[in-house]
A = this chain, B = another copy of it.
Amino acid sequence: MNKGRLEAFSDGVLAIIITIMVLEIKVPHGHDLKDLKPLIPIFLSYLLSFIYIGIYWNNHHHMLHTAKQVRGDVLWANLHLLFWLSLIPFVTGWMGENHFQAMPMALYGIVLLMAALAYFLLQRRIIVSQGENSILKKAVGKDIKGKISPIIYLISIAASFLSGWLAGGGYVLVALIWLIPDKRIERILKETKD
C-alpha cells in the first residue's frame, strides 16, 4: 500500500482542523476597538493551537517521508492521532471562551497529551514496519523532545488548578521546544545518502 493517500487524507484533516478553529472567533456586533477586547483570549488560544497543528503537520511530513509503504496498522495509528487532533478546535474554543480557567486548561493539556501519545504510537508502528535498519529509528534517536513533552504536559495539567496561566506557560514551552528546527531526520537522510 503506498503512502500517497495517507498523506493526502492527513493533510486534508489537518488543513480543516487548522482552519475551522477560526470559526470560533465569532464576528462581534460592534465596530469599535473595544468590541475586539473579549476576543483576545480566543485569539491567543487560536494562535497557540495553530502553532501546535503546524508542528504536528511538520513532524508528520518528516516522519512519513522516511516511510516507503504503509501497512494497515499504520493507517489506524494515523487515524488515532487525527482523532485527538480533531478535538483541538473544541478544547481551544473552551479554553478561549473561559479566559484560561482551570478545567478548560487541564482538558487542553489532556488532549495534547493524548495526541503526543498517539504520535508516539504511530512512530513505533512505522519503525516496526521498517524492520531493522529503520531510518526513522535512527532519526528519532533518543527522542529527547518526545520524552520531555508529555512530562511538561502532565505538570501543566496539574498546574491548571493552581493557575491557568502557569499551565498555559507549560503548553507554550512545549511548542517552543518543537519550533526549534528539528534537523535530526534531515541529517540522518543525508548521512544515509553518503
Interface residues of A (CB under 8 A from B): 1-2, 5-9, 11-20, 22-25, 27-33, 35-36, 47, 50, 54, 57-58, 61-62, 65, 71-73, 75-76, 79, 82-83, 86-87, 89-90, 93-94, 97-98, 101-104, 107, 179, 181-183, 186
Q: Which one of B2, B11, B24 contacts A9 once the chains associate, using CB atoms below 8 Å? A: B11
B72 adjacent to A54 (CB under 8 Å):
no
A73 to B86, CA, bound (A): 26
A34 to B5, CA, bound (A): 40
A103 adjacent to B7 (CB under 8 Å):
no
- Main SS of the interface on chain A? helix
A18 to B20, CA, bound (A): 12
Q: Which one of B58, B61, B75, B87 contacts A22 once the chains associate, using CB atoms below 8 Å? A: B87
Given contacts A5-B7, A9-B57, A58-B79, 4 further A-B contacts (CB under 8 A): A5-B11, A7-B8, A50-B86, A54-B76
B18 adjacent to A15 (CB under 8 Å):
no
